[in-house]
């Protein structure tokens, strides 16, 4: 089974930036479509965006223009660059393979203060 580890979260002010990282125990980023998800307190987990094995990215409208997804195949990692963060972006962020049942990692907490 693939193990996923998210990192890079933290506490930032409104308008700040963070870069989240997703590391995997196997080389998956050149094979699968990968997603970034988030779960805010009291809400269901939602898909923030995804990147295909070919590098195409799609983001939800609420983060489009502020967030960017990328992969580093050589270093077996995926990133979520988050700029102009807003308090409503506060959540635990996760990465996972789309369309393949894979255990969730522990996530990384992002807190944006107003």
Beta bridge mates, 27: none
The residue among 96, 89, 101 whose CA lies nearest residue 4 is: 96
Backbone angles phi, psi at 89, to 5 degrees: -85, -5
What pLDDT is recorded for position 58? Answer: 98
Confidence of residue 101 (pLDDT cuts 50, 70, 90): confident
Percent of the chain past pLDDT 70, that is, above it, reads 100
How high does pLDDT run on average in the chain? 97
Torsion angle (degrees, nearest 10) of CA 58, 59, 61, 67:
-130
Supply the DSSP symbol for 75. T
Query: What average pLDDT does range 84-113 have in this prediction?
Result: 96
Q: State yes or no: pLDDT of 26 exceeds 90.
A: yes
DSSP secondary structure letters along 10-67: EEEETT--EEEEEEESS--TTTS-EEEEEE-TTS--EEEEEE-TTS-EEE-TTTBTTE
Confidence of residue 22 (pLDDT cuts 50, 70, 90): very high
Supply the DSSP symbol for 86. -
pLDDT in tens, 33-68: 999 999 999 999 999 999 999 999 999 999 999 999
């Amino acid at each position: 089974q693939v193990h996923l580890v998210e990192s890079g979260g933290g506490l930032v002010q409104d308008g700040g930036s963070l870069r989240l990282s997703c590391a995997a125990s196997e080389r998956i980023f050149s094979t699968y479509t990968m997603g970034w998800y988030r779960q805010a307190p009291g809400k269901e987990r939602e898909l923030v965006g995804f990147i295909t094995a070919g590098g195409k990215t799609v983001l939800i409208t609420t983060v489009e223009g502020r967030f960017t997804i990328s992969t580093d195949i050589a270093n077996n990692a995926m990133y979520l660059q988050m700029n102009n963060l807003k308090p409503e972006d506060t959540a635990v962020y996760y990465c996972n393979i789309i369309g393949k049942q894979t255990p969730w990692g522990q996530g990384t907490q992002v807190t944006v203060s107003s």
